């Protein structure tokens, strides 16, 4: 896992686990992930900020955590 301001994907998808009130909003780029084998994740409220570059396994763990997280 790393944080980067480097190459940015051109298509971001908001997580279905993000709420609609502007909180807990993350986005990821499936097209970038497919092309490069790493999954970029960013805060949708700060699109020019850093993106975490996760391994596919790391991203799967994040999704699994979100499924079971009870805020």
At 40-50, the pLDDT tens digits run 999 888 888 89
Confidence of residue 26 (pLDDT cuts 50, 70, 90): confident
Query: Are residues 43 and 24 in contact, defined by beta-carbon separation less than 8 angstroms?
Result: no
Distance CA 30, CA 23 (A): 22
**pTM of the full predicted structure?**
0.74
What's the pLDDT score for residue 8?
Answer: 62
Q: Is the dihedral of CA 60, 71, 20, 52 positive or negative?
A: negative
Burial readout 5-37 (b: 16 or more C-beta within 10 A, e: otherwise): eeeebeebeebeebeeeeeebbbbbeebbeeee
Q: What integer is the mean pLDDT of 20-44?
A: 86
């Amino acid at each position: 896992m790393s944080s980067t301001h480097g190459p940015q994907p051109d298509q971001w998808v908001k997580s279905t686990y993000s709420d609609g009130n502007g909180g807990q909003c993350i986005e990821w780029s499936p097209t970038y992930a497919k092309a490069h084998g790493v999954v970029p994740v960013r805060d949708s409220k700060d699109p020019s900020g850093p993106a975490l570059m996760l391994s596919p396994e790391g991203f799967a763990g994040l999704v699994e955590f979100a499924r079971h997280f009870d805020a």
